[in-house]
Amino acid sequence: MQERKWYQKRSIIFTIHILAFIGFIIFYETYNFLNAKEETKNLSKLIQSFVWNLDDASAKQYLNVYIQNKNIDKVKILHKDKTLFLEVNNEKQHSVLYDIFSSLYLIRKFNLSSSIYFEKEKIGYIIITWINENIFIYFYALFIFILLSFVAYFYVETVIQKNLLNQAFEEIKALKIQQDADYYLTSLLIKPLTYIDLKSNYYKCEYFIKQKKQFEYKRFKDEIGGDFIIVKQIQLRKRKYIFFINADAMGKSLQGGSGILVLGSILYAIFKRLEIRIEDKNKYPETWLKYLSLELQELFESFQGSMLVSSVIGLIDELTGILYYVNFEHPYPVIYRNGKAYFIGENYILRKIGMPRMFQQEVKIQIYELQENDIFIVGSDGKDDLEIEINQQERIINEDETLFLRIVEQSEGDLNLILKNIQNKGKIIDDISILIFHILKKEIPVIGNLAAKETTKIKEKIKNYINNKNYKEVYNFLSIYVNEYPLDNELLYYYAAISYKLTKYHDAIDIGEVLLNRINPPIPLFPLLIKSYIKINNLNRAKTLLEELKKYNYDQNKIKQLEENITKQSEIIKDKI
């Protein structure tokens, strides 16, 4: 707090007023005494003729009139030899208060005398008993001084408070400039990390993002918040995929922006690593997406719950339209198809990225097949959290998540109309971001004269191969399916099983792990993977999967046999060492 100046201190203000009051008393007492002395001289001149002529009657009459309007108690006139010529008393009646003040010597009497001359000859004396009634004046003066003290005190306090407010305003202004500078710097860092990089004949992408916090820094106008979008084309196993993320970081303004800065930075590092690491390029989409999710979770978990992010992260196979995605407590994605909008992925949703591990579910990848002319939409909760006006006095926050479905249907999936209709429904009160993919066309691969989506016919063909013990034909046939159109879980399991039978354990493991990363993997997959890991001597992974298998209602004898196989293989490895 700013130190007060000397004239702004209460003690000094009080002292000044006390000294001023004392000074006033001294001044007024002196003035009153001198005035009484002058009056005494004047009166001696006025009555000189009466004394010379010894006209006591006229003198008395004159003095009675004179002393009525003066603070005089009595007047004595003496001859030259100091014998009494005349004495006149003031017969004025006094109040009780006057008598009380007199008894307390607050009203005092004093005598003043003056010689009486007639033509320069002294002929007598006049003695006037004056009454000092200044106490009443002092009471009025004290009251006025008290009022002035209060006025001065409040004026000084007002000035001080005004100065403090001005100082606080300047400090706030400086802090705001600093805050806006932080906002501006953070927004500059975020901008290169938020981008749409899509050049495809199969998909059209639209997006809208608006942060609630708008700010000005110098001549720049910008915005900052927690919503985030990236669309980027990548390659996995020599196939083109569209990576996308729509995220909403916890907190407002700088906190949300900081979360997005961290998220965008780690994604940038992951993309750079994908460009140079063959191991990452050879991962299946489910595996790559799961490792990416786990990496983000581990990073944000280190912030101990102070930085959480909701998001939908996914991959779209450019040719086939197969969608792989994971939902971290973000609004459900929407499909608009044939004039109808509906949610997908309602059966499995994770907690926000960064939630402590004890509260987080296992990351599972959801699979969905996009069709031609579909419109696929993801968006933050800003599109749902609308302030709806019921009447002029009452407003509520929308809690109906299906409202957005009706808006999409009304807008026929057009982004501009969606935004317009959202604003018509209510006031946007949060950061908002919407990402839309229009599926223009897709290609369904053909495997052995069968379209890859004709799974029933494919399964019949595989059974015929198996009945004829043409296992290599099954393997070759399914190898194409696994790489070109890996949608059906049962066919992927067949591939893993036939790979194991043909002692292609690594192929069995690769596809088996892909299935494990999906929701509701087939139970027989677990013993198949356990046996495959035993074959390649990865007993730690085999033990982990065995513990997972025990959670299901699986044949205990077979579990016991698998445990024995792990133990036996462990002993063989020890003997070799």
Compute the distance between CA of residue 264 and CA of residue 256 in angstroms, rounded to an integer. 12
Q: Are residues 134 and 198 in the same domain?
A: no
Residue 470 φ/ψ, nearest 5 degrees: -90, 70
3-state class of 412 per DSSP? coil
User: Which residue among 423, 439, 455 closes a domain?
Assistant: 439
Q: Are residues 211 and 302 in the same domain?
A: yes
Compute the distance between CA of residue 310 and CA of residue 320 in angstroms, rounded to an integer. 28
Q: Are residues 559 and 471 in the same domain?
A: yes
Q: Are residues 202 and 326 in the same domain?
A: yes
Compute the distance between CA of residue 231 and CA of residue 385 in angstroms, rounded to an integer. 25
Higher per-residue pLDDT: 162 or 485: 485
With 80 as the cut, is the pLDDT of residue 321 above it? yes
Judged by average pLDDT, the poorest of 184-188, 272-276, 365-369 is 184-188
67: CATH: 3.30.450
465 in any annotated domain: yes
Taking residues 185-192, report their average pLDDT: 82
pLDDT at 229: 95
- The proportion of the chain whose per-residue pLDDT surpasses 70, expressed as a percent, equals 97
350 in any annotated domain: yes
456 in any annotated domain: yes
Q: Are residues 451 and 531 in the same domain?
A: yes
What is the number of structural domains in the chain?
Answer: 3
Q: Are residues 280 and 199 in the same domain?
A: yes
- The proportion of the chain whose per-residue pLDDT surpasses 90, expressed as a percent, equals 51
Its domain, for residue 36, covers: 6-138
User: Which residue among 420, 439, 458 closes a domain?
Assistant: 439
157 in any annotated domain: no
525 in any annotated domain: yes
Distances (CA, A) of 373 to 257, 339, 441, 486: 35, 11, 7, 21
pLDDT at 306: 87
Alpha carbon 275 to chain centroid distance? 38
Q: Are residues 235 and 107 in the same domain?
A: no
320: CATH: 3.60.40.10
Taking residues 25-41, report their average pLDDT: 88
389 in any annotated domain: no
Compute the distance between CA of residue 453 and CA of residue 392 in angstroms, rounded to an integer. 56
Q: Are residues 120 and 209 in the same domain?
A: no
Q: Are residues 455 and 557 in the same domain?
A: yes
pLDDT at 4: 54
Q: Are residues 129 and 198 in the same domain?
A: no
Compute the distance between CA of residue 343 and CA of residue 332 in angstroms, rounded to an integer. 6
What is the amino acid identity at position 311? S
529: CATH: 1.25.40.10
Judged by average pLDDT, the poorest of 139-153, 332-346, 414-428 is 139-153
Other CB atoms within a 10 A radius of the CB of residue 39 amount to: 18
Q: Are residues 226 and 370 in the same domain?
A: yes
pLDDT at 171: 81
Compute the distance between CA of residue 309 and CA of residue 167 in angstroms, rounded to an integer. 39
User: Which residue among 138, 159, 180 closes a domain?
Assistant: 138
Q: State pLDDT tens for residues 285-298.
A: 999 999 999 999 99
With 50 as the cut, is the pLDDT of residue 1 above it? no
Taking residues 442-461, report their average pLDDT: 91
Assign 3-class secondary structure to 251-292: CCHHHHHHHHHHHHHHHHHHHHHHHHCHHHHCCCHHHHHHHH
Q: In the numeric block, which tokens belong to residue 399?
A: 């809690």
Predicted confidence band of residue 262 (pLDDT cuts 50, 70, 90): very high
Whole-number average pLDDT of the chain: 88
213 in any annotated domain: yes
Taking residues 12-28, report their average pLDDT: 83
Question: Helix and strand tally (H, E) in the chain?
Answer: 17, 22
With 70 as the cut, is the pLDDT of residue 158 above it? yes
Q: Say which residue the tokens 């019921």 belong to.
A: 390
Contacts 24+ apart (CB under 8 A), 120-126: 122/80, 123/48, 123/51, 123/52, 123/79, 123/80, 124/51, 124/77, 124/78, 124/79, 124/80, 124/85, 125/77, 125/78, 125/82, 126/40, 126/43, 126/44, 126/47, 126/75, 126/76, 126/77, 126/78
Partners of 343 in beta bridges = 334
285 in any annotated domain: yes
Q: Are residues 379 and 297 in the same domain?
A: yes
Partners of 314 in beta bridges = 244, 325
Taking residues 354-373, report their average pLDDT: 91
Alpha carbon 554 to chain centroid distance? 51
